[in-house]
Chain A
Amino acid sequence: MKHIPIIPVPLDEVDLALFEERKKIYPRSQKGWFASWRWVLVVITQLMFYGTVWLNWNDRQAVLFDLVTRKFYIFGIVFWPQDFIYLAVLLVISALSLFLFTAVAGRLFCGYACPQTVYTQIFLWVEQRVEGDRNARIKLDAGPLTARKFSLKFIKHFIWLAIALWTGFSFVGYFTPIRQLTLEVAGLTLGPWETFWLLFYGFATYGNAGWMREQVCKYMCPYARFQSAMFDKDTLIVTYDSERGEPRGSRNKKVDFKAAGLGACVDCGICVQVCPTGIDIRNGLQYECIACGLCIDGCDQVMDKMGYERGLIRYTTEHALVGKLDKQAMWQRVFRLRTLIYAAILGLIILASAVSLYYHVPLKVDVIRDRGQPRITEAGEIENVYRLQVMNTQESPRRYSVRVLGVPGAVILNNADIDVKSATARAMPVRVRVPPNVLQIGSNRIRFVIQDLDAEDVSVTEKAVFIVPR
């Protein structure tokens, strides 16, 4: 029997792109409580970033990360490579703070303090000043390239680049003394690396805040991807109360909307227009939401106009929304095990590092015993030679005394004080002699005490071994 193949009727098929074209977002400017807070944070963070670098302390820049000499100056303290632990601690504190804030109030950092948010906000403000608000910008972009459009765009990019370059300049100023940097920029004598980083950081600011904007939050930022792991049902989120809002629809202010079968949402679209990431919060919690609260401001103003109760879009928790908890009950749930543990660990680490910084001795010593056979004098005394690496982390020349403890009769033969210049290290050979028959053959414990002669509380005790040969 002949087999007849069955050929299916071909359906019409087309190719669909798996990568999507970017739709430009034109966020509408919005005023209100949350919008004001965002500006407060912009001012605080930028005063810190642009301003700190100009402060002076001890006749030097107050905050300077001197990579060449590997010393970090932060106000009164000089951090050496050996203090790297503090950087690790700082990162741990930052991470834990992020966990805590996120567990309590969601993406507070994203919406308010993240550099990406802050610079986007500044750049957007410039754009609004130059090109006008949302509708004007949409119209301008849709229109042909006229002289007006060109000049507006030119002015906008000029201001953007100026801010970006200033940002790059300030950034490099944390690594090269900024006053010296100013002279170098003015005299066009900037070194290759400084030029590179100034332009690189400037370009990054211009590109990220001017062009990339929400794309960074949506596609590049890793935090957006793992923040959901820190959310739970008691985390404050910006959310739309769909039970109250739906069904949405336009209506006349005078009509009783409940009688008309409508919810509180007038479907004005303000919440979508103001959103800097271009989402519709009414679709529920989305990973793109950076919790800036602008939609709350927008919606509240509409609710006021309509004479409805505020809070159709609001900061609330899933529990509060579903369980209809009042504010007090909602806030009580903030103190749950998760946040308490985060807070406890955070508090402990901050306390420990504060204590450690308070007792931070501005003197570091390494003791290295010379390899090789110890010497024995004619009288049978034993000599070990050590190399003391003495690091004066203070910004003044210091004189230190050296003593040995732990072995009776042990003396330092070259027992003179050690002078170490301001914020430098010195290698110092030290010869220790021990009378015969005091120690057993082999390795014996010995301690070096290095004491600042002008400051009683600055002293370091370092362990070492004293070898007695057979």
Chain B
Amino acid sequence: MADFFNEWWGIGIAIVVAISIAACALLLWSQSKVRVKIGTDGKPLPAETTGHVWDGNLMEQNNPLPLWWKWLFYLTIVFAIGYLIVYPGFGARQGSLGWSQVGEYEKEMKDGEAQYGPVFNKFLAMDIKEVAKDPQAHEIGQRLFLNTCSQCHGSDAQGGKGYPNLTDTDWLYGGDPETIKTTLNEGRHGQMPPMGAVVGTDDDVRNVANYVLSLSNSAHDPIKAAIGKPKFAACAACHGIDGKGNQVLGAPNLSDKIWLYGGDINTIMETINKGRNNQMPAHKDILTPAKIHLLAAYVWSLSNNGTAAQVSDTDVPAIKQISAATTLDK
């Protein structure tokens, strides 16, 4: 990679560096001796001052440094030259060690992988459901989740508006370990096209929305729902005739009371009119396969309390708490 847009820049900087070093050496050499007159006794007169005078009478006393100090100065010059040979810094020269920041970063990542990789990798060979039972895996999984997933799904994994709750048993694409892993690796792009025009007028939309609410026995207007029912045919392509959704398409189940964007009439009408567009990013390039494996196990365990509860309570209180919370919710 070129550091400069023109190779002359590198040469220019190398010249500046070389001149600077030479100038330091010259200055040091020129300042290590002073010319003094010889006194009447034939001996050099002691240099009491350096000869510099300020403000008429402020003089710089000559308190000489020890000789070894001068050699330390020269040593720094030798060090600088050695440094420029070994490391980059002399113009565009890369240095004999081939050192670079990118190289350092890659080396550290490799070292980190060598150190922590085995901890993660031992779980990679295990079945996800087995991993979910392992207290250490759970602890690691929680940390990974808090680092990577909690920004959208919340620290407690219960999601929020537009972000699915991962602790219930309702899944857009399926909640088996392999599907969760696919979701993590590839990401998901959930799309519902705007259906307002297809459904018809505003009243039609309201009627369909009431019908949708009736599917889950939520509060609705039975008359409007009845009118809206035929219009639901437009939605059935994805959500199914009974509104139970389709995990192949990622179409939500409309017959439960779990809503991604909200279960009131206005939100549902907004969804019908404008459609929805939702994206979960792919993580295969962000996390290692072993980490994805651990995360999948953690996420799977969140909605499969029965299995996870086998883990001792004292080791993993988080499971107990989250499961307690879910029970409270239902």
Which A residues have a C-beta under 8 Å from some C-beta of B? 11-22, 215, 219, 370-375, 378, 385-387, 413-419, 427-431
Q: Known interface pairs A219-B65, A219-B69, A416-B321. Does A13 touch B37 (Cβ–Cβ under 8 Å)? A: yes
Instruction: Indicate if B64 sits at the interface (CB-CB under 8 A).
Output: yes
A375 to B151, CA, bound (A): 14
Tell yes or no: B322 within 8 A of A by CB. Answer: yes
Chain B residue with the shortest CB-CB distance to A21: B67
Q: Is the CB of B155 within 8 A of A387?
A: yes
Q: Is the CB of A14 within 8 A of B320?
A: no
| B2 interfacial by beta-carbon distance below 8 Å | no
Known contacts A12-B38, A17-B32, A18-B62; is A385 also within 8 Å of B321 by CB? no
In addition to A12-B37, A14-B44, A21-B67, 4 A-B residue pairs with Cβ atoms within 8 Å of each other are A16-B47, A19-B32, A413-B325, A429-B318
B317 smallest CB distance to A (angstroms): 5
| 20 A-B pairs with C-beta separation under 8 A | A14-B35, A15-B35, A15-B36, A16-B47, A18-B32, A18-B34, A21-B67, A219-B69, A372-B160, A373-B160, A375-B161, A385-B156, A413-B325, A414-B324, A415-B324, A416-B317, A419-B314, A427-B155, A429-B154, A429-B156
Q: Which residues of A contact B31 (CB under 8 A)?
A: 18
Q: Pick the 3 closest A-B CB pairs, nearest first.
A: A429-B155, A414-B321, A429-B156
List of B residues within 8 angstroms of A414 by Cβ: 156, 321-322, 324-325
Q: Is the CB of A16 within 8 A of B324?
A: no
- Minimum CB–CB distance for A383 against chain B, Å: 8
**Contact (A431, B158) CB under 8 Å given A15-B35, A16-B34:** yes
The answer to whether A386 and B155 have CB atoms under 8 Å apart is: yes
Contact of B190 with A by CB under 8 A: no
CB B330 to nearest CB in A, in angstroms, measures 12
What residue in chain B is nearest A378 (Cβ atoms)? B263
Query: Does B146 interact with chain A (Cβ within 8 Å)?
Result: yes
Q: Looking at the complex, which one of B34, B67, B68, B317 makes contact with A417 (CB distance below 8 Å)?
A: B317
Q: Is the CB of B146 within 8 A of A20?
A: no
Please, how many residues of chain B have a CB less than 8 angstroms from a CB on the other chain? Answer: 46
Closest to A433 in B: B328
Q: Output the least CB separation between A203 and chain B (Å).
A: 16
| B52 CB within 8 Å of chain A | no
A427 touches B65 (CB 8 A): no
A21 to chain B: closest CB distance in Å?
5
Q: Which residue of B lies closest to A215 (CB)?
A: B66
Taking CB atoms, residues of chain B closer than 8 Å to A418 are: 317
Question: Quick check: B314 and A416 within 8 Å, CB to CB?
Answer: no
Contact A219 B66 (CB under 8 A): yes
C-alpha gap A371/B158 in the complex (Å)? 13
The interface residues of chain A lying within 8 Å CB-to-CB of B325 are 413-414, 431
Per the bound structure, the CA–CA distance linking A24 and B317 in Å amounts to 70
On chain B, the residues within 8 Å of A427 by CB distance are 142-143, 146, 155
Given the interface pairs A373-B160, A378-B263, the reply to whether A416 lies near B320 with Cβ below 8 Å is yes
Pair B320/A19 contact, Cβ less than 8 Å = no
CB of A16 within 8 A of CB of B36, answer: yes
User: In the complex the two chains form, what is the Cα distance from A215 to B320 in whole Å?
Assistant: 67
CB distance from B105 to the nearest CB of A (A): 21
Q: Please measure, in the bound complex, the distance between the C-alpha atom of A15 and the C-alpha atom of B69, giving whole angstroms.
A: 19
Return B219 CB to nearest CB of chain A, in Å: 9
**Would you call B150 an interface residue if the criterion is a C-beta within 8 Å of the partner chain's C-beta atoms?**
yes
Distance from B282 Cβ to chain A, minimum over Cβ atoms (Å): 21
B64 proximity list for chain A (CB < 8 A): 17-20
Contact assessment for A13 and B36 in the assembled complex, using a CB-CB cutoff below 8 Å: yes
Once bound together, how far apart are the Cα atoms of A219 and B73, in whole Å? 14
Contact between A19 and B69 (Cβ–Cβ < 8 Å)?
Answer: yes
Q: Are A413 and B67 in contact (CB under 8 A)?
A: no
Chain A residues near B285: list those with CB within 8 A: none
CA distance A219 to B70 in the complex (A): 12
B66 touches A19 (CB 8 A): yes
Residue of B nearest to A428 (CB): B318
Residues of B within 8 A of A371 (CB): 151
Expressed in whole angstroms, the Cα–Cα distance for A68 and B317 within the complex equals 27
Per the bound structure, the CA–CA distance linking A427 and B31 in Å amounts to: 62
In the bound complex, residues from chain B placing their C-beta under 8 Å from that of A428 are 318
Contacts of B150 in A (CB 8 A): 370, 387, 429
The answer to the question of B55 belonging to the interface, with a C-beta cut-off of 8 Å to chain A, is: no
Cα distance A324–B263 when bound, in Å?
Answer: 96
Minimum CB–CB distance from B24 to chain A (whole Å) comes to: 16
Known: A22-B66, A413-B328. A16 touches B154 (CB 8 A): no
Closest to A287 in B: B63
B3 within 8 A of A: no
Contact between chains at A15 and B320 (CB < 8 Å): no
**Interface presence of B104 (CB below 8 A):** no
Query: Which residues, 308 to 330 on B, are CB-close (under 8 Å) to A?
Result: 314, 317-318, 320-322, 324-325, 328-329
Q: How far does the alpha carbon of A419 sit from the alpha carbon of B313 in the complex, in Å?
A: 10
Which residues of the partner chain B approach A219 to less than 8 Å between Cβ atoms? 65-66, 69
Collect the chain B residues with CB atoms within 8 Å of residue A21's CB: 66-67
Which A residues lie within 8 Å of B62 (CB)? Answer: 18
Interchain nearest-CB distance for A391 vs B (Å): 15
Partner of B317, one of A16, A17, A374, A419: A419
* Contacting residues of chain B (44-103) with chain A, CB-CB under 8 angstroms: 44, 46-47, 50, 62, 64-70
Best-buried of B32, B36, B150 by chain A (most CB within 10 Å):
B150
* Complexed CA–CA distance, A87 and B257 (Å): 56
The answer for the CA separation of A74 and B325 in the assembled complex, in Å, is 41
Please determine whether A14 and B324 come into contact, CB atoms closer than 8 angstroms.
Answer: no
> Which residues on A sit within 8 Å (CB–CB) of B328?
413
**A211 to B, closest residue via Cβ:** B68
Give CA–CA (A18, B146) in the complex, Å. 65
Residue in B38, B143, B263, B324 whose CB lies within 8 Å of A416: B324
Tell me whether B65 and A19 are in contact (CB under 8 A).
yes
A18's contact among B33, B44, B157, by CB below 8 Å, is which? B33
Question: For the complex, what is the distance from the CA of A16 to the CA of B39, rounded to whole Å?
Answer: 13
Across the two chains, which residue of chain B brings its CB closest to A420?
A: B317
Among B46, B156, B263, which residue has its beta carbon within 8 angstroms of that of A431?
Answer: B156
Residue-by-residue, is B154-193 near A (CB-CB < 8 Å gives 1, otherwise 0)?
1111101101000000000000000000000000000000
**Neighbouring B residues of A415 by C-beta, 8 Å:** 321, 324
A428 to B317, CA, bound (A): 10
Task: State A385–B322 Cα separation when bound (angstroms).
Answer: 12
Taking CB atoms, residues of chain B closer than 8 Å to A416 are 317, 320-321, 324
